[in-house]
Amino acid sequence: MRILAIGDIVGRPGRRAVAAYLPELRRRLAPDFILANAENAAGGIGITKDTGLELLELGIDLLTMGNHAWGKKEAYAFLEEEARVIRPANYPEGAPGRGWAVHRSRSGVPVAVMNLGGRVFFTTDLDCPFRTAERVLEAIGDGARVVLVDFHAEATSEKIALAHFLDGRVSAVFGTHTHVQTADARVLPGGTAFMTDLGMTGPRDSVIGIKKKIVIERFLTQLPSKFEVASGPTELCGALFDIDEATGLARSVEPVRVAD
């Protein structure tokens, strides 16, 4: 089966890019299942019910989140009620929503998706993503052979280490959060597909989605400033995974990138 994973969708330009590019990608790549990271979908930080449903109605089967999961107050209720949106499973017990889910592909195959958050260079006090992954895999059990992991993390070393830790036990591990597509897509020795970061879906002429001038001034002055999502030409970044649904292991992975 073919799975399309879309990198961090940033604000209105990112949602516009999904609307513009996804129909052609569906025709050309024929994915059985589509997921995307939406933690920046509403104004660059967080998600709202309207933006989440907008993306789901465009044909995305499941949305993952990250450290900005709670960026909008209404996300608390939305993540609790909408089973097609998950947040990192290693938030402490009592956080709204769920950290993993099993949904069926267009061909009826169960697909489990696990969302994890990194700890290196993050201020959020999350549980260990490695031990959390173990617990989630035990909970999934025989519920799905195809298992995907969105690891929303800053450090490339942490992402690579988790992929090797799960190699042969999940179908794919892919990183999100840093908004820059990496050139290391590969299948690991145990059969797990890996890519350090899917990249960003949003305004191309920007600093990871934010207006260039604002970010440059912040670096020059070290003064706080309000980030604003950039405008202009857009791009959609992600990866296409080919998974053997009988074994749950990957046959291949290739980067996906389309731009204005």
Phi-psi region of 21 (alpha: psi -120 to 50; beta: other; left: phi over 0): alpha
Active site residue 103: no
| Rounded Cα gap, residues 144 and 110, in angstroms | 5
Neighbours of 117 (CB within 10 A): 27
Mean pLDDT for 249-255 is 98
Q: How many domains does the structure of the chain reveal? A: 1
- Continuous H helices in 30-180: 49-57, 75-81, 129-140, 156-166
Count of Cβ atoms closer than 10 Å to residue 196 Cβ: 23
C-alpha–C-alpha distance, residues 140 and 161, integer Å: 22
Strand pairing category for 193-195 and 186-187: antiparallel
Instruction: Check if the beta carbon of residue 73 is closer than 8 Å to that of residue 107.
Output: no
Average pLDDT rounded to a whole number, residues 30-37: 98
Question: Which residue type, as a one-letter code, is found at position 145?
Answer: R
Q: How far apart are CA 66 and CA 120, in angstroms?
A: 14
> What does the pLDDT read at residue 179?
96
pLDDT over 90 (residue 173): yes
Is residue 217 helix, strand or coil? helix
> Percentage of the chain with pLDDT > 90?
97
- Which one of 68, 152, 177, 179 is the catalytic residue? 68
* Residues near 84 by beta carbon (within 8 Å), at least 6 away in sequence: 56, 61, 62, 63, 101, 103
Domain that holds residue 72: 2-259
- 124: pLDDT strictly greater than 90: no
| Mean pLDDT on 53-73 | 96
What does the pLDDT read at residue 220?
A: 96
Structure tokens at 152: 């929303």
pTM to 2 decimal places: 0.96
CATH for 60: 3.60.21.10
